[in-house]
Structure 1
């Protein structure tokens, strides 16, 4: 389309120059997305090659599966906490005389280096990764059997829970990076903060605490 528009030259009305610019912008966006996809796909291939060249030992596989089981326990605990506090919050939200307009339940999960790790520092938090999980209105089904196939064969003996999968497969930025299985092996402790936020909208003109 871009070539066709350019070949017509001055035969097109001035308005068509805007169309040409828009088409070129779309083309650039598609090329950029394609490059990002290829980079991501290539990174996954590199990771698979790394696993094949530097395979995990049986002991390391067992340690990672133990971490997966511990994260299943964390998942169940977070669900229990959410189910414990949700009825009271829902009752407040449903009460028209209660000024609370909304609420949130969030779990901040900190993965901490083992104390025997060479990089452990008594003067630092020693967080190797963090995750935020929103616990409000969790789906009824457990998410402790997340299927995964593109991992080392030694880790396919058991299904991976969401928290474990998210830890090694998803990158959420500088403070919440995707970490390798080697770094997963360095985790010595999991610290969890559950934060319940009650929200209030105060209408200045009517002096009503809840709006809407």
Structure 2
């Protein structure tokens, strides 16, 4: 999978502090680096609505439709996804779960099925003249896709905590970890209490 940060609120943590201090009218306490302590206070007290003033847009490639079916359930986000109605999938790529890849027999069966689906799709579109919007009905959840998602920081925190937890499906959990690592580069305090346990491949929450 490939993750790219397309856009993020400039000086996001400074913005969050400035906006948050409107509530307290405590601008006199705003100094160089004071946003770190202020944001930690907001998160500790559960005042995360202030985080909604900052946004990030992420472009995601090489994940399965099975993953994006889960991702688009987060309705406080904006999504744009590669359309199977307009874009040909004659040479579609696909995700292979490790449980299938690790067994030579299941791997062979899986690859054979994907090749059959690819050939059938190509025949439907290019030989029988079936519209792509109808031929796509045979495509598997494993099909690679591309999606762009925009969310505010509060929603990103919710997504990362939910989708990075142990009960989450393995593919979306790995995605959550990659997105967290990316967002931490730009907003280390906002996402600082979310920690990647690389051994377990999960996101854990520590207390500020």
TM range (shorter): under 0.3
Q: TM-score, normalising length from structure 1?
A: 0.22
Pick the structure with greater CA Rg.
1
Q: TM-score, normalising length from structure 2?
A: 0.22
